[in-house]
Structure 1
Amino acid sequence: MTAIDLNCDMGESFGNYTMGNDEAVMPYITSANIAGGFHAGDPHVLFETVALAAKHDVGIGVHPGLPDKIGFGRRTIDATPEEVRDYVIYQLGAVLGVAKHHGVEIQHVKPHGAMYSMLSESEEHTRAVIEGILEVDPSLIYLATDLNIFSVAQEYDALDAVFEGYVDLDYASDGTIIVEQQKQPRDPELVADRVTSIAKHGTVKAVDGRTIDLPADSICIHGDGPNSLELLRTIHDRLDAEGIALRQLPELVSD
């Protein structure tokens, strides 16, 4: 049976600032990428988000970012491969500790924003991060947003890697994601069409109408989108109609 994972970035609120719609979105996803406190999140939000994921039996991952809350981790920072590795391990340790407190395990790592852009552009940074993850826990799955990173990750026999695609963002014909300055509502049926195409054929249509390869086993939905809940409900209806199963990342890499 064809299967797919649905992931969402979570735990990005902090202090008096609320980001996303975690409580409403969590029941509809299979994997949660939880902020480790650098680009967003705080200790209390982290505890609440891990508990919420555990309640809904959602797989937990760390979503490490650069130390830049003002810029939400989307601004470029000059950092060596070793410094980025240290950022990832530090945030991984925070989420691991809270997960242990709640009696659950972490399943994956997915870098955020400018960090994943940095890894995409520098193989040296990518290898430093991957090797740091392996030293902490070789059972962790690397959730790769970019084919450059995914290609490097696949070179490590000890590391399972899963490529992810986006359906509430558009793709250029070269396969790069077109990031919006401000999130706009998306057509639920179009988004569901994209999910089906990725799950069944490993392809998606770019903005110019070309069909591009997108060999993704996980789909990311942005929980802070204007109509994210409508999108997720429509996706679930379409998956049921198409006979596509929802599976967590460990199940996908073990198939």
Structure 2
Amino acid sequence: MSGPGARTLDLNCDLGESFGVYRYGADAEVMPLITSANIACGAHAGDPRTMRESVDLAVRHGVAIGAHVGLADREGFGRRAIAVGAQDVHDLCLAQIGSLDAFVRAAGQRMAHVKPHGALYVMVNDQPDLARAVCAAVRSFDPGLALYALPGSALAVAARDAGLGVVEEFFADRPYRAGRVRMFGWTAEELGTPDAAAGRAVQQLRTPALAGVGTVCVHSDSPAAAERLRALRVHLDREGWAVAAPRPSGNPTGPAPTPLSSPHVDEAFQPVPSP
């Protein structure tokens, strides 16, 4: 089914976040249902074996691969805001992208995108210096890599300024309040059933403010993650919207959106000072 409102959306998932004997996330269940995988690179989570297995799983299912870069904070799963400078953010991201890319290349594939994780995602949404640091790392490694970012965020603006492709992101498994996504501190009751959450997501995606969104995220560790993705696919199909990974965009054209004047993420974590 297609029509004037036809649209193509990517379904992305943060995964590859197991470590050693510790298993985390429903990776095997969600991989057949997504079009892009954001694979942890060993900082906030993941390890070499998990990276290799995650890349192999993505390749088997024809899923585009991206680096899910985060703060080096395993104990906090990269979800604690740590005081960190722009150069450190640059170096952290560059090291992680390179680590995952080794496994991607060994599998005969090419990485498609980069997406910050957790606290780093929050920080680069409204801290331009850190956003520019992430973009500098991405551009120096491969200017063909796209960045996943919230619409109008500092990261989206910095990426466009750096000539990088941007894929604007919406979260189908996080509550939104007054247009702001609640990344942390939410409850399962707030998310609702998979079907209710999927219907709510599509309703929000119809709004003009989200017309530029190109990817929708469901986390592999969300309650009933696979069921949420199945329900989302059903609702997208009813809407007449296709599901596919973003096409490589190279240097974007057209004017960049005006940055939002207020924070884009409703935070619920405490900063951890540097030692």
Percent of residue pairs identical: 37
2:74 matched residue in structure 1? 69
- Superposition pairs of residues 1-255 of structure 1, within 5 angstroms: 1-145=6-150, 147-148=152-153, 149-156=155-162, 158-173=163-178, 175-181=179-185, 184=188, 186-202=192-208, 213=210, 215-250=212-247
8 Å contact from structure 1 (residues 116, 145) kept in 2: no
Counterparts of 1:29 and 1:46, CA distance in 2: 17
Q: Which stretches in structure 1 are left out of the alignment for 5+ residues? A: 204-212
Amino acid at match of 2:156: F
What's the offset of the Cα at 1:113? Answer: 0.9
Counterparts of 2:73 and 2:98, CA distance in 1: 18
CA RMSD of aligned residues (A): 2.1
Cα distance per residue 1:93-138 (max 9 Å; x no partner): 0111000111111000000011122222321111122022111100
Moved more, 39-48 or 73-82: 73-82
1:208 matched residue in structure 2? none
8 Å contact from structure 2 (residues 149, 167) kept in 1: yes
8 Å contact from structure 1 (residues 3, 199) kept in 2: no
Task: Say which SS state the counterpart of residue 33 (structure 1) adopts.
Answer: strand
- Residues 251 and 198 of structure 1, relative CA distance in 2, 3 Å threshold: farther
- Residues 94 and 202 of structure 1, relative CA distance in 2, 3 Å threshold: farther
TM superposition score normalised by structure 2: 0.82
- Residues 118 and 9 of structure 1, relative CA distance in 2, 3 Å threshold: same
Cα distance per residue 1:163-212 (max 9 Å; x no partner): 10112111121x22113436516322222223423544445xxxxxxxxx
The size of the alignment, in residue pairs, is: 244
What's the offset of the Cα at 1:228? Answer: 1.4
Cα distance per residue 1:7-36 (max 9 Å; x no partner): 000100001211100001000000000000
Q: Which stretches in structure 2 are left out of the alignment for 5+ residues? A: 1-5, 254-275
Cα distance per residue 1:26-66 (max 9 Å; x no partner): 00000000000000001000000000000000000000011
